[in-house]
Amino acid sequence: MSEKKAYGALVARFNRMSALGGAGAMLGWDNAVMMPDGGADARAETMATLGVISHEMMTDPVVKGLFEEAEVEALSQHEAANLREMKRSYTHANALPADLVEAFSRATSECEMTWRGAREQDDFKALLPSLSKVFDLVREIASVKSEVLQLPIYDALLDEYEPDCRQSIIDPLFAELEDFLPNFLEEVLERQAAKGAYEKPEGPFDLEKQKTLGLKLMTDLGFDFNRGRLDTSHHPFTGGIPDDVRLTTRYEEDDFTQSLMGTLHETGHALYEQNLPKEWRGQPAGEARGMALHESQSLLVEMQLSRSEPFLEYLQPKLIKVFKRDGAAWEFDNLKKLYHHVERGLIRVDADEVTYPLHVILRYRLEAALLSGDLQVADLPGAWNDGMQQLLGVTPPSDRLGCLQDIHWPGGAVGYFPTYTLGAMAAAQIYKAAGDAIPERDEQVAAGEFAPLITWLRQNIHEKGSLYSAEEILTQATGSGFGTASFIEHLKSRYLPE
């Protein structure tokens, strides 16, 4: 083939596969948001078929030859990066036979539907057969990928969510946090008690008003509703495609903070997706660079930004206007106590910044043990409860508030959880760097002027796509790769200020 012909053929193929993936993403969104339960079997069949077609396109023998020819073509730096990411996807896909891909797609679709009912009914036994099947397939996938990638089985799965990340990188970072957090948590709880409890704003809070407030904040932060929408689901998530981002939240009538923070968290994800490089749409180089950076953007918005004092100055009058309330509970100092409240909670998605990493460390340990076979799925509830007591000092009174709370394992996402805390660490680094670059950031935030911050994030994180590694993107933006120092300093300055 002549100059760049092979590369061009790969680009065309990946564009088609991206379109199939986008269709699957929309069907997945519909599955979670509005599909009737009776459609589950047909939807599982459709999702499995899309997965098989895409897999067949990726594993077509012609692709190997295209890679061999493209590697000697005269490619630009960014084209070479795109080819590198194509090969990464190709290697992962070719590790698995088509029948295993299809079986996994069917099993996870069915398990997710079963999980919804099991969670609602607090019935782990109802989930056990389908979850056991999913983990059997996950172990098979991990074993196959481990051999192909020449990686330990957990790293073989982790690499799909966070390319080039390894347990050898995670373990020391998590050890540093585990050394720091328990004593720090005790100190925070003592100081918090000395200051006195916050006064909880009394509900009920109309669900439509909660949604109206969420939509207003999303708009102010720069979410483009011409290319996306907000809905409700059992578990908040962001899906769709960059030019049609679908995010969801969930509402509680007696607590507006849950939906608000869930909406803001997902908005961070959604802004990342909407601001990915347009010139690389449909190509691996145009995708988000792993889930750690993705989580850094959601946690930056939810934790770093939205719980900051400047943001609360912006938010307070809007809360009063939307819910038409006043009194001590709605005063700034009380709202600050509310949004900076730390407790040994049961639910990860509702956890504060201090305890959140401990929730993640627990899940990381459990999924690694489930993958290796050291822990059986049937024993998960007991192991979960023991871990919660050890790390957080609380024991869930039910599986609904324990091991049934997350959708990740029913969906087959093993190797994903560590990226949440890697993301929290990166969020602290990135937010600090943004503040250094924009000295007036806090004044702008208090005034509801978010464009300078979002523009900085777009230029330094979002638009980089996967043209560079996560470590390179983070280093370019902040001066260093993944580390705990900025995160620990942030926690100290917010929760134990001198």
Residues recognised as catalytic: 266
Could you give the CA distance from residue 91 to residue 107 in angstroms, rounded to a whole number? 23
Four-CA torsion 383, 386, 391, 393, nearest 10 degrees: 150
Compute the Cα dihedral for 343, 349, 352, 358 and give only its sign.
Answer: positive
